[in-house]
Chain A
Amino acid sequence: MSLAADYGAVFTRWNTWALMANQDISMRYRRSFLGPFWLSIALGSLVLGIGLLFAEVQRQPFRDFLTFFGCGMLAWTYLQTVTSEACSCVIDNEDNLRNLPLPVPLLSARVAYRNLVMFAHNAVIIGVMIALLGKPLTLLSLWSLVGLALYLPFALFLGAVLGPICARFRDVPQVIATIMQLMFFLTPILWVPHEAMSRPIIYEANPFYHLLEVVRAPMLGQMPTDMNWIVSVSTVAILGVLAVIVTALTRKQIFLWL
């Protein structure tokens, strides 16, 4: 098998990653009526509780802020979960990889798709919340789907980059977890950026901000800026190049690192 075949497998063997991801989701429904919705409910109550508090702290109208925070958390949950699961996509498949030739992109496609299903669950809860808050979605909100379409290659490439690295260097997942915790506070999710900020570079230099905006802004009835699109697409493109490089360098080594 070659490098191209490793990535081609994402298309030719989509049954395999889709089946793995569907089994992951169905495991969360096992003997539980709400299954993965429990995670969505946890997210919803977090948004409601923290949202009300921070609306007060930041003197924001609570309807607007809750909508902003809810949509932000919806997108952030995807970005953050795929980043942490990207780290474990190879390690979690040690048994399989020791005994079967499985391309890494297949394993990261599983993560990307599984979290898309989780996103859909969360979107139901957040959607209901937004509707109750009297902030209905508009036609413009459909642009969120375009933004979401960028999340899939983002997750796919991230797993192909981080999966093998984390298998070799087992403390990288901890480093990534620490960074992501920091990123949550550096990215405008819990706080609203405003014109008067003297250093907008704090969030403008953060690719997660732009990735967040391409999904969040349309939900809030705004079009993402050109800058948002450019940075998001470039981030995915750069990750894509890194992914191919990492795969080329590690595809014959991963077996040694399990």
Chain B
Amino acid sequence: MAAKIKLDNASFKYPIYALASRSLKVSMFRQATGGSIGDKGGVVYVQALSNISFELSPGDRLGIIGRNGSGKSTMLRVLAGLAHPQSGTVTVEGRVVPLIEKALGINPELSGYANIELPLRLLGATRAEVKKAQQEIPEFCGLGRFIHLPFRTYSDGMKTRLAFAISTALQADILVLDEWLAAGDLEFQERAEVRLTKLLDDTEIVVLASHAPQLIEYVCNKTLWMHGGEMVMLGPTREVLEAYQRSTHNPISLAYAATG
């Protein structure tokens, strides 16, 4: 079965619970009186995504660009099956591996080696995948005997290396990435790049959210520009990035546009 992503008019909003409305007492009181207290019981909504529609099929590498708060992270969480839009439909077919946050499931007290399994299990790895990762990760990281020392004793560089290796150990149909994975200033840049490129090549659909046009241009063939939770533009990467950069009067990105 080929991987597929389809969003049809999907909208998602976060309720922001004022402290008061999280309490059971207030909620029961509201039920009992049959009315509403204050501003809808103190619940304020943030519209994070409005009417998003697009479709991705194998071979698509979608970059999502936009400023802070434009809905990039929420978009990733919708695709990862974490956030469920209140209206519209989302169809995702295939095995999704979400790499949104770094070092999930890593226990600093345990050795690097002992830390390989849980993050992978959390992502849904099978026994065979864990076995394979336990063999290839120590070699890839080049941590030597450090692999058997507690994770907390590692230098930042070593931590990043291990976290990167673990995150890139699983083969998915659909990869949902935040930029940390691709943009880190890794000491072992070259080997990391080879590994990441191979992973992306073997993945049917990639979705990458980033602030950095360079990164998106490097990885993605399609780009979605988001602003305030809405789709501003969706199309071939170069066109969208040019439009995006024209709209942001940011000297750095202008300089980039001039050289690119």
Contacts and interface: CB of A to CB of B under 8 A. Distances in A.
A96 B84 contact: no
Given A19-B117, A23-B118, A96-B105, A101 B81 contact: yes
Interface residues on A, range: 20 to 34
Interface string B123-139: 11001000000000000
B41 to A, nearest CB: 13
Contact of B23 (A100, A102, A169): A169
B101 A98 contact: yes
Contacts of B25: 171
A172 B84 CA distance: 25
Interface residues on B, range: 20 to 34
Given A175-B24, A256-B14, A100 B98 contact: yes
Secondary structure of the A contact surface, majority rule: helix
B124 A171 contact: no
Contacts of A23: 107, 110, 118
A101 B27 CA distance: 28
B95 to A, nearest CB: 12
B128 to A, nearest CB: 12
A179 to B, nearest CB: 13
B15 A95 contact: no
A131 to B, nearest CB: 35
Nearest to A101: B81
A255 interface: yes
A59 interface: no
B14 A1 contact: no
Query: Interface centre among B107, B122, B123, by most A CB within 10 Å?
Result: B122
A101 B82 contact: yes
Given A20-B118, A23-B110, A96-B105, A168 B22 contact: yes
Contact of A96 (B15, B22, B80, B104): B104
Interface of B: 14-15, 17, 22-25, 27, 77, 80-84, 98, 100-101, 104-105, 107, 109-110, 117-118, 121-124, 127
Q: What 8 A-B pairs are tightest by C-beta distance, nearest first?
A: A252-B84, A99-B101, A169-B24, A16-B121, A99-B100, A101-B81, A170-B22, A171-B23
